[in-house]
């Protein structure tokens, strides 16, 4: 059996690849350096030659509020092509199991909390990342379509906000967690007396370490088979202001935190109902304080 992880050098993909390797699974990892998933012919040729039994799709163009807001064409067009090429090629190569990594941003902006899987497509999306969300919704629907038309045992998983090693720490395109780590570390090094952050700090976010996600993916591969996406998270959230304070403390920054209220806050709250995945026997093992410490240490060693 061969497992192919697409996006194997990214945040989620690298953790999934590492976990599969650690438990002795025969796994092949690819990034854009090995295969351009925007190239449909190349994608078909690669999968038909490799003939993997399982494909885990962690490949995507991702970014934070600013990047999503400024480049909606790229986030919509490129992600639809990446996932469609890979999914169609997997069908051509007769792949038995396909795991599509969606995103909790596909849920409506003003969604009841905690968010159940059936809440998808029940309301308007958050405007700052709607292009990315639409692309991910298209991927979920394509997986369902292949299940319906061809009987494939393919699934979609819905991770909450992820963090950990190999994240994107570029301040122009990163998500809130890595951006905070970089800002506070740089402020500490430069002896800055204050750090300015986007928004009000009031929105609430749920955060999951990618090593916990990787373990959940393996559980889903073994035990989940449904056309409905399955949530993967912690079921616990906190405000961005509380997160900023935790990261500031962990990095040793003791100055003030100032909020630029002219910037977008994004979705007001987003915490997932994780009953389905916990019923399969999985639960997160890395708490947020431990995860922040591990990620700060990784950043200092690698960046």
Per-residue pLDDT tens, the chain, 303 aa: give them: 899 999 999 999 999 999 999 999 999 999 999 999 999 999 999 999 999 999 999 999 887 777 777 889 999 999 999 999 999 999 999 999 999 999 999 999 999 999 999 999 999 999 988 999 999 999 999 999 999 999 999 999 999 999 999 999 988 878 899 999 999 999 999 999 999 998 999 999 999 999 999 999 999 999 999 999 999 999 999 999 999 999 999 999 999 999 999 988 888 899 999 999 999 999 999 999 999 999 999 999 997
Q: Which CATH number belongs to the domain containing residue 81 in this structure?
A: 3.40.50.720
Give the total number of structural domains in the chain: 1
Does 148 reside within a domain? yes
Domain contains 144: yes
Instruction: Identify whether 132 is a catalytic site residue.
Output: yes
233 and 273 Cβ atoms separated by less than 8 Å: no
Query: What's the token pair of residue 232?
Result: 């993967």
- Closest by alpha carbon to 226, among 149, 115, 148, 119? 148
Quick check: is 156 in a domain? yes
Is 153 among the domain residues? yes
Q: What is the largest CA-CA distance in the chain?
A: 60
Annotated active-site residue in 119, 132, 146, 163: 132
Nearest to 59 by CA among 6, 102, 99: 6
Residue 190 lies in a domain: no
Does residue 249 sit within a domain?
no
pTM of the model: 0.95
Domain span at residue 224?
3-166+207-235+270-286
In a domain, 26, yes or no: yes
* Cβ atoms 74, 31 nearer than 8 A: no
Q: Is the residue at 172 inside a domain? A: no
């Amino acid at each position: 059996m061969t497992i192919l992880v697409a996006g194997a050098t990214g945040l989620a993909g690298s953790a999934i690849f590492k976990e599969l390797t650690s438990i002795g699974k025969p796994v092949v990892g690819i990034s854009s350096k090995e295969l351009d998933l925007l190239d449909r012919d190349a994608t078909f040729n690669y999968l038909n030659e490799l003939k993997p039994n399982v494909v885990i799709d962690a490949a995507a163009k991702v970014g934070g509020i600013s990047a999503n807001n400024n480049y909606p064409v790229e986030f919509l067009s490129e992600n639809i092509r990446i996932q469609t090429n890979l999914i169609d090629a997997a069908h051509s190569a007769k792949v038995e199991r396909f795991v599509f990594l969606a995103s909790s941003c596909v849920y409506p902006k003003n969604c009841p909390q905690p968010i159940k899987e059936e809440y998808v497509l029940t309301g308007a999306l958050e405007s700052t990342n709607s292009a990315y969300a639409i692309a991910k919704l298209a991927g979920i629907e394509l997986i369902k379509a292949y299940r319906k038309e061809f009987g494939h045992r393919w699934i979609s998983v819905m991770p909450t906000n992820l963090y950990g090693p190999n994240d994107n720490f570029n301040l122009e395109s990163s998500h809130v967690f890595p951006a905070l780590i970089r800002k506070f570390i740089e402020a500490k090094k430069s002896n800055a007396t204050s750090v300015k952050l986007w928004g009000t700090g009031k929105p609430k976010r749920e955060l999951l370490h990618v090593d916990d996600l990787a373990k959940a993916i393996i559980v889903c591969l073994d035990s989940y088979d449904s056309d409905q996406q399955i949530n993967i998270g912690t079921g616990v959230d906190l405000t961005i202001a509380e997160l900023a304070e935790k990261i500031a403390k962990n990095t040793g920054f003791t100055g003030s935190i100032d909020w630029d209220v002219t910037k977008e806050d994004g979705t007001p709250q987003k915490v997932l109902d994780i009953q389905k995945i916990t019923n399969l026997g999985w639960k997160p093992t890395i708490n947020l304080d431990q995860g922040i410490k591990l990620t700060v240490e990784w950043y200092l060693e690698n960046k």
